[in-house]
Chain A
Amino acid sequence: MPKLAISVDDLTKKYATGLAVFHAKFEVPVGTICGFVGPNGAGKTTTIRMLLGLISPTGGNGQILGESISSPEKYLSSVGAMIEGPAFYPALSGAENLRVLATLGGFPQERVDQLLKQVGLADRGKSKYKTYSLGMKQRLGIAAALLPNPKLLILDEPTNGLDPEGIQEIRQLLRELADKGTTVFVSSHLLSELEIISEYLVMLRKGEVVFAGPIQELFDQQQPFMIVKTASEQDLQKIITIAQAAGHKAHLRDGAAHIEGPAEWAGTLNKLAFESGILLTQLSPQLPNLEETFFEMTGEQK
């Protein structure tokens, strides 16, 4: 049994229009939930396509469950995937769509009913796919990914179109799968969700891996900060100048000053503001979170 579910080294994909993935290197240990994040166009889907053998890398190599990605037939029977959203035949029912894939992969047909029940589609399994809502389509996509009882589950935006209850159910499902030893590699724009469920994180920016490792390691690298609001807008710039003069990084975002520094420094800042005649209406110390860290590391604007 390999220790790594995914391992890529120097993985590169070049298109005529430019580089989509540039010397990517990361590892995902077996049995973990790994978040895969990056802004739109960062190369997430291209990377996933390469991992699944749908496109050929221009350079580098990778291994899935100990097998080279140049031989996808050796590992795909143990991999479940939903990429670029669910894609099914509109004229077939949800159950029939799953049966097509179960037949193709040689999986028992009984799995179809079990999975429909598991993703909450038991009562709509006989309805045509084209009548499904976006959330139901997403659930069917997840059911299809679970067909092989996978050792590695690769999901691209699995919570798209789901209501909060649905998101919670999917989160719980992924947790249960990971507890049973399934490795989950999940890309999502819902960073707060990923923060809750992920133990590992791979972050891409413009085709390059900017972080890969345990999520706590990422937070440890980040500074705590505080969000400061003032009674008048002009004072915001003043408080930023005060913080910077005191040796703290500070910038304006979303109508508030974001000032790096430990929670204990909040009192000092409050005093400095008072002495300068600035009235603070909010002073909230924050621990690093994935969303802040993501914007920090990818240079994206909120």
Chain B
Amino acid sequence: MIISLLRIFFAEWRKLRRPTLLLGTLGAVAFFSVLVSSVLFLMIDSPQGNGDRGMRITREMLALPGGATESFSSIGNLLGIIALCVFAAQTAQEYSLGTLRNLLVRQPGRIRILVGKLASMKVFAMIMTLVSAVLSIGISYALAGRQNVNTELWFNGDGRLDIAQTLLNVFISILGFGIIGMVLGIVLRSPISSISLGVLWLLIIENIVGALRSSTLKWLPGNQLGTIATGGSQSVSYSHALTLSAIYVSVALIIATVLFTKRDVSN
């Protein structure tokens, strides 16, 4: 059982580590990490604000122990969308390319395939998180001195704890987005359809619905996952976001597992 799971994990990893996918994804992660961190510090005195949706994050706020991870935590949504696209494409392509039948002939345990693939993609999400953390915190540190932001508290005990917590929160958030992408891939069986629907929902529909009725922000799945990355927000508490996300992701996983194991592979 463990051996076959490891085989599936490494087989999936061979696909995930291909340079075009790994370097392309990490390139996008790096781009957004550098962009968000740079905007946060370089626009610190801008009247338009330097945070999400025009919010102003002052020098004093950035000098707190959580200052090092301010940009990293706010990038969670963007990293989540990247993860959703990668997980959705990797899963749906098995159907669209017809390669799922090859996998199932070599490993007929369908739940095992699903678990092994998910484990491999988890590692991919972990790498994304780490690269983003290193870049975001590194850029923030480099720019802090230039913008007269005090970094004394960033790496003391509280600062290090905050970094660890944010790392975990962003990872959970990215993984949640990724799993939703994987589920979309299984349900829709087409990379384009699953990525389009996922991105449309997260970037357009949730924003419109949230803007029209702010009370829905407590229930929208993308907002819950984004809130986990930031460790909670004014409208949604961290524990609420975590609980609701766990429910959404579990229900999605159950649906995906039933479909994946029971559906005929006929393409």
Contact = CB atoms under 8 A, between A and B. Distances in A.
Interface of A: 49, 52-56, 72-73, 76, 79, 81, 83-85, 87-92, 96, 99-101, 103-106, 144, 147-148
- The prevalent SS among residues of B at the interface is helix
Contacts of B4: 106
Contacts of A92: 14-15, 18
Nearest to A103: B11
A101 B106 contact: yes
A53 B99 contact: no
A73 B265 contact: no
Contacts of B104: 52-54
Q: Which of B4, B8, B14 has the most CB of A within 10 A?
A: B14
Given A87-B98, A91-B18, A52 B11 contact: no
Interface centre among B3, B14, B101, B105 (most CB of A within 10 A): B105
Nearest to B103: A104
A170 B254 CA distance: 44
Contact of A54 (B7, B97, B99, B266): B266
A105 B7 contact: yes
Interface residues of B, number: 27
B21 interface: yes
Given A53-B108, A54-B264, A87 B102 contact: yes
A54 B108 CA distance: 8
Interface string B2-16: 011001101100110
A55 B14 contact: no
Contact of A100 (B15, B101, B108, B264): B15
A-B pairs, 4 with minimum CB distance: A87-B98, A55-B264, A104-B11, A105-B106
A104 B93 CA distance: 17
A72 B20 contact: no
Most buried by A among B102, B104, B266: B102
5 contacts: A55-B265, A55-B266, A73-B109, A87-B98, A103-B10
Given A73-B108, A91-B20, A104-B8, A99 B102 contact: no
A262 B265 CA distance: 49
A53 B107 CA distance: 11
Contact of A76 (B14, B108, B264): B108
Contacts of B93: 89
A7 B21 CA distance: 44
Nearest to A81: B105
A101 B20 contact: no
A52 B18 CA distance: 29
Contact of A79 (B11, B103, B105): B105
Residue among B3, B93, B106 with the highest chain A CB neighbour number at 10 A? B106
Nearest to A46: B266
B7 to A, nearest CB: 5
A104 B20 CA distance: 22
B101 A103 contact: no
A56 B110 CA distance: 14
Query: Which of A55, A100, A148 counts the most chain B CB atoms within 10 A?
Result: A100
A73 B14 CA distance: 23
A76 B21 contact: no
Contacts of A76: 105-106, 108
Given A73-B109, A87-B101, A92-B15, A54 B265 contact: yes
Interface in B190-206: none
B11 A83 contact: no
Among B7, B104, B107, B108, the most chain A Cβ lie within 10 Å of the Cβ of: B108
A144 B102 contact: yes
A104 B7 contact: yes
B266 A52 contact: no
A88 B99 contact: yes
B264 A56 contact: yes
A54 B105 CA distance: 8
A289 to B, nearest CB: 33
A101 B266 contact: no
A220 B14 CA distance: 53
Contact of B97 (A55, A83, A90, A103): A90
Given A49-B266, A53-B104, A79-B105, A101 B97 contact: no
A52 B10 CA distance: 23
A163 B251 CA distance: 51
Nearest to A74: B108
